[in-house]
């Protein structure tokens, strides 16, 4: 595919191969953009922002609604693109394509809700005859930098709200998975989005990212990805608004009164879908010593039942990781934990980019598999004897994106909700759950700012205060 900059599809002789992570076959190629392309992209987007600023909310909503309809019509094609480039099983690709359309639909609704407030300025001393109100205005040019693991869904979480708020948006998709973002551009154009209002530049983050994020004409950066890249972008961004959706090593606490069958069922889903490559994937499991053995015997057969292989084949429950090097890293961390005293219950092997679903028991929280973000198909179990210790362990991390507890005790659930340092809290479900309309974002090193169209539109617009000095 070509990239879309300055309102036109543009090719280049230098290409990036987009590979199927399962077998390494080339799915397609995209141009390798460079700094000059970024400059052209931003210049086009500045003109696009001027066009978008003048488009009434009703028309912005109509465009987005039409795009959502087109996405639903083309959902099977979108699902296949997502699964082919990313490696998730087709069932997950289908869920992603439907949810992506829903985000664009939610954004259409939000386009009509940009509102300000009236301020009672006469409440300030000496302010008789003053009348004040706020108006919300677009930021202008929004840069959306996205990761590989939800190549359509997370792009929509940025593009939808940016357009709803009256901005022009420049997408820089992950180099491993740019195809679904480019397909989305085709759909947005068909839905009537002005060509200069949507840009998609392909190229390596290191080459095009700094130029894009450091440019003063970009007024807002919305980034989803690793802590390291997010931290780097914050330093290069300078004086502009920034939203950071970063990683985590999500904890799950299993109390002695939990429904262990349900915990096991949920954990087999929330720890292993997309090969564990989900920012809120369950990674650290703290289990009450009293129910440890029973929980493990419930969990093991359910994880054993996760069949692996070609993500596009019927019957596969878990596909490959994005790159063989990532699979090798996860395999290494598992081996390192076992050498340091963890017990391998199941899994632990690797073939190419596929890592077998793994359960490690007796994990020491200081092991890399626990204290760093694993981003792979393994969970580590650690015992505890009281809830205070479990909460302390859950909090003993730089991350804070999602955390979960299973208990029937309301007091324990509330203690967990209040004391655990995490942007998303789940009671009686796993860490991996999200409705696209909810405020979603992390604490601590998991980031800043919230996504979910209503919240993202807020972050992609600015408030102006208007004071009318009336005759008193």
Asked if 295 and 260 touch (Cβ cutoff 8 Å), the reply is yes
Could you say which of 224, 243, 283, 397 contacts ligand NDP (CB under 6 A)? 224
DSSP 313-358: STT-SB---S-HHHHHHHHHHHHHHHHTT-EEEE---EETTEE--E
201 CB neighbour count, 10 Å cutoff: 29
Tokens found for residue 121:
């300025």
The set of residues, in sequence order, having a beta carbon less than 8 Å from that of 224 and lying 6+ positions away, is 145, 146, 147, 154, 157, 158, 245, 246, 279
Could you say which of 68, 78, 144, 174 contacts ligand NDP (CB under 6 A)? 174
Q: Can 245 be counted among the known catalytic residues? A: yes
Site string for ligand NDP, 192-211 (x = CB under 6 A): ------------xxx--xx-
Could you say which of 37, 215, 373, 458 contacts ligand NDP (CB under 6 A)? 373
| Cα–Cα nearest to 158, from 200, 196, 186 | 200
Tokens found for residue 135:
């108006």
Residue 445 binds ligand NDP, judged by CB under 6 A:
no
Backbone angle region of 274, left / alpha / beta, with phi > 0 → left and psi within -120 to 50 → alpha: left
CB of 453 to ligand NDP, least distance (A): 14
Q: Which of 60/444 has CB closer to ligand NDP?
A: 444
Could you say which of 38, 61, 198, 213 contacts ligand NDP (CB under 6 A)? 213
Q: Can 279 be counted among the known catalytic residues? A: yes
Residue whose token pair is 């992603």: 96
Residues 115-154 interacting with ligand NDP (rule: CB under 6 A): 145-149
How far apart are the C-alpha atoms of 178 and 167, rounded to whole Å? 22
Residue 180 binds ligand NDP, judged by CB under 6 A:
no
Residue 298 binds ligand NDP, judged by CB under 6 A:
no
With vertex at residue 367, the alpha carbon angle to CA 362 and CA 372, rounded to the nearest 5 degrees, is 125
Residue 449 binds ligand NDP, judged by CB under 6 A:
no
Among the listed ranges 17-25, 119-127, 167-175, 285-293, the one in contact with ligand NDP (CB under 6 A) is 167-175
Residue 442 binds ligand NDP, judged by CB under 6 A:
yes
Could you say which of 78, 90, 233, 306 contacts ligand NDP (CB under 6 A)? 233
CB of 76 to ligand NDP, least distance (A): 24
Catalytic residue among 245, 298, 373, 451: 245
CB of 192 to ligand NDP, least distance (A): 27
Residue 455 binds ligand NDP, judged by CB under 6 A:
no
Number of C-alpha atoms within 13 angstroms, CB side, residue 258? 33
- Residues in contact with ligand NDP, counted by CB under 6 A, come to a total of 30
CB of 34 to ligand NDP, least distance (A): 12
CB of 143 to ligand NDP, least distance (A): 9
> 376-415 burial by CB neighbour count: b if 16+ within 10 A, else e?
bbbbbbbbbeebeebbebbeebebbbbbbbbbeeeebbeb
Residues carrying an active site annotation = 245, 279
Positions in the binding site for ligand NDP (CB under 6 A): 145-149, 172-175, 204-206, 209-210, 213, 224-226, 229, 232-233, 245-247, 279, 373, 375, 401, 442, 447
């Amino acid at each position: 595919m070509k990239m879309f900059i300055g309102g036109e599809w543009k090719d280049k002789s230098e290409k990036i191969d987009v590979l199927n992570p399962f077998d390494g076959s080339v799915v397609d190629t995209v141009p390798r953009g460079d700094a000059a392309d970024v400059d052209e992209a931003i210049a086009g987007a500045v003109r696009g922002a001027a066009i978008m600023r003048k488009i009434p909310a009703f028309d912005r909503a109509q465009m987005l609604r039409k795009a959502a309809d087109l996405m639903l019509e083309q959902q099977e094609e979108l699902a296949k693109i997502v699964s082919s480039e990313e490696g998730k099983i087709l069932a997950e690709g289908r869920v992603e394509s439907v949810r992506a359309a829903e985000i664009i639909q939610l954004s259409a609704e939000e386009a009509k809700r940009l509102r300000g407030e009236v301020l009672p300025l006469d409440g300030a001393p000496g302010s008789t005859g003053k009348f004040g109100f706020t108006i919300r205005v677009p930021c202008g040019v929004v840069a959306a930098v996205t990761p590989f693991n939800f190549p359509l869904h997370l792009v929509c979480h940025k593009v939808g709200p940016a357009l709803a708020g009256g901005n022009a948006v420049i997408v820089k998709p992950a180099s491993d998975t740019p195809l679904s973002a480019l397909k989305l551009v085709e759909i947005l154009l068909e839905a009537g989005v002005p060509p200069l209002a949507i840009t998609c530049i392909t190229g390596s983050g290191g080459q095009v990212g700094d130029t894009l994020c450091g440019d003063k004409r970009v007024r807002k950066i919305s980034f989803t990805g690793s802590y390291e890249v997010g931290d780097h972008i914050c330093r290069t961004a300078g004086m502009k608004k920034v939203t950071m959706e970063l990683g985590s090593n999500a904890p799950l606490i299993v109390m002695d009164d939990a429904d262990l069958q349900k915990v096991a069922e949920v954990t087999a889903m929330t720890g292993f879908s997309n090969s564990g490559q989900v920012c809120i994937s369950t990674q650290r499991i703290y289990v009450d010593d009293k129910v440890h053995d029973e929980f493990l015997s419930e969990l093991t057969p359910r994880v054993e039942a996760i069949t692996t292989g070609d993500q596009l084949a019927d019957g596969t429950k878990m596909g490959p990781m994005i790159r063989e090097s990532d699979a090798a890293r996860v395999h290494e961390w598992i081996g390192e934990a076992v050498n340091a005293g963890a017990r391998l219950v199941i899994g632990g092997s690797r073939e190419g980019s596929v890592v077998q679903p793994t359960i490690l028991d007796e994990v020491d929280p200081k092991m890399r598999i626990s204290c760093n973000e694993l981003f792979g198909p393994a969970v580590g179990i650690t015992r505890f004897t009281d809830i205070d210790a479990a909460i302390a362990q859950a909090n003993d991390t730089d991350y804070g994106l999602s955390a979960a507890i299973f208990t029937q005790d309301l007091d324990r659930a509330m203690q967990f909700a209040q004391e655990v340092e995490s942007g998303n809290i789940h009671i009686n479900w796993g860490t991996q759950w999200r409705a696209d309309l909810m405020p979603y974002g992390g604490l601590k090193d998991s980031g800043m700012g919230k996504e979910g169209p209503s919240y993202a539109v807020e972050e992609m617009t600015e408030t102006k205060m208007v004071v009318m000095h009336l005759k008193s």
